[in-house]
Amino acid sequence: MTNLKDRLVERLERKEAVIGIVGLGYVGLPLMLRYSDIGFRVLGIDIDPGKVARLNAGESYIEHIPAERVAVARDAGFEATSDFARIAEVDAVILCVPTPLNKYREPDMSYVINTVEALTPHLREAQVVSLESTTYPGTTEEELLPRIERQGLTVGEHLFLVYSPEREDPGNRDFETRTIPKVVGGHTPACSEVGLALYRPAIDRVVPLSSTRAAEMTKLLENIHRAVNIGLVNEMKVVADRMGIDIFEVVDAAATKPFGFTPYYPGPGLGGHCIPIDPFYLTWKAREYGLHTRFIELSGEINQGMPEYVVGKLMEALNQRGKALKGSRVLVLGIAYKKNVDDMRESPSVHIMERLRERGTDLAYSDPHVPAFPTMREHHFDLESVPLTPASLEEYDAVVLATDHDRFDYAMILAHARLIVDTRGIYRGAAADTVIKA
């Protein structure tokens, strides 16, 4: 059956293969554009009919992806659909679906499993299936492999299975899909060969690994490394604040050391689809082996506690001014999880907003990237972004600077806000008594 592998590799190398991407969000949509740009025909599959309709109309629903790029891809042959039966048309199936946590902070694999269940009846010989969703080591072998082989397809002979974790940094103009190295692990050597052929035309550097499990663990290590170091600097922030030391000054100074130190900066918590979630995938899986991942769980505990720390600093500052938190008018600046994007996933700003709402504040937000609070799985606010003007700022008892977008006029905010709780170090060194570091 090696001719199936060779035939598929040849189709990929000649760009004759049709690429199918399942899940057209912050990962799937840029990947679709990259394959379309280099001459592949791409079929996109998403269960959201609204997204499908907008893409087929040449529109974008992600701020940093221009509609013009979607329209160009559509004119070059890209099509979006919600029909999983069309999986039979493609040569490569790339899965870019969410892997959140449930309310017990355990992996919610329903998106992956439901997607695989929907597509497996339509798989055929000489296809490659690549999972890009971040998950625990063993997922590809334990969840995808048996479901595929249940269809009578032997992985490594008839069909090829790889794991290649997504690496996206929305809003970072220094990197794009093409320039971020891609890790690929196959279930068999033949699978690895096909996986490399799938990604090499689109990605400048493809890094082969020995197995899907090694590739799954690689993605978790990347994100755990970041989560643990952010947890460390968030803890240092609390200690430094109690001692009257500016943690941002300290991190900047430590970063002048040319070796042995990587600067991480504190904030109001962790956000995004990876860092707050992925470490708990390994924590959960490690229990199967009788292991307790103490570093990971401790950093998670610290990072999850930061929104409450910010609210505590706000409460203390209002108290000193003779005001209760309940009934105070509070404006949250920036509700996306990071600067200069519209991505709301796991945003610590939202957790701050929920804690403020629970305590009876008159709550509002301003975010130039999020004009109206979006529909989210777990968080619900019927709010729209408030325009920032000197007059509007003066209406609020306090402003919580949660996400430091470049489009904010920080000098104007400082001049007109009654009280600023700064979680991002924007006003480091400011002498104003209206600024509270948090």
The set of catalytic residues is 274
Is 117 strand, coil or helix? helix
d(CA 47, CA 11): 28
The structure tokens listed for 65 are 């992806």
d(CA 279, CA 135): 9
Is 53 strand, coil or helix? helix
End-to-end C-alpha distance for the chain, whole angstroms: 62
Which amino acid makes up residue 410? Y
Sheet with 362-366, strands from edge to edge, namely 362-366, 329-333, 398-401, 420-422, 435-437
d(CA 252, CA 264): 9
The answer to whether 163 and 208 are in contact (CB under 8 A) is no
d(CA 388, CA 391): 8
Q: Classify the C-alpha dihedral 115-216-32-153 as positive or negative.
A: negative
Burial 392-429 (b: 16+ CB within 10 A, else e): ebeebbbbbbbbbbeebebeebbebbebbbbbbbbbee
Helix axes 2-13, 189-199, angle to 10 degrees: 10
d(CA 119, CA 14): 26
Nearest by Cα to 383 from 392, 370, 374, 373: 373
Helix axes 247-254, 212-242, angle to 10 degrees: 130
